[in-house]
Structure 1
């Protein structure tokens, strides 16, 4: 505790001040949009008193914390474990949300491809005349390198002159 010129609070005045400071810190946290976690060091600085004195009034502190539906700041290794569990749960929730979004986008994408496929024509109808014309000009098939077809349309009529 810092040395001040003020007289140290005792008895009911101290208890009222402890309760007021805890409620004030809780309301500040609420205004900031955060959940309140009791921190003995902060309370001791604002009362002003020592953490040892706060431990002596632990029943009052517990009552006020329970009334505010708050929790104490942990000072042992369990705080890290609890923090990691909360973080793990939060990350799992984010993963579930993103998986739902991805599933919805996949469904939407499949729907788009189905519509494109249903409303499109075969590429062969567009490409065949171009490739046949280019192959005839080149004298060989552009796709396989074989002999170029003489006519794009084959006929089953046999010329009489070539007949034996």
Structure 2
């Protein structure tokens, strides 16, 4: 899958250019260019049996159940805290990849809406933080992937260990690939 730039972006950051060129189906390319780990509400990859038995694995499970809605909202707060922290560390400079377009985030409110919709899987997106050298690929079942670019000499580049520490601090879990 490739992305088009919806608005003119001068002087693309190397991470943004790499993201545009990334084929997410090419495991060798991913391993060569990124350190990848999953961020999840769950502490392990669910088996099929666990998945079926779980009362809440995605927003669709909430339906009209106020208890599940509250539980989902608490989980969403954890993801929001993490992603808002990354947004602040990136000096509020981010892009969202949505429907094959790469769009600059123009306001915090819009950024928040992208996250809220992604957590409900309506639709999923990628959150790019070019100055940090990382991006998040939102996913199904309250599990997302974090990609940290290798071999980038950005002075503000964030380390995988720092992101993992942030994940743990907000109460989410790290799942290694």
* TM-score between the two structures when normalised by the length of structure 2: 0.21
Greater strand proportion: 2
User: Over alpha carbons, which structure has the higher Rg?
Assistant: 1
Q: Which has the higher contact order (CA 8 A, sep 6+)?
A: 2
Instruction: Please give the TM-score of this superposition, normalised by the length of structure 1.
Output: 0.22
* Higher helix content, 1 or 2: 1
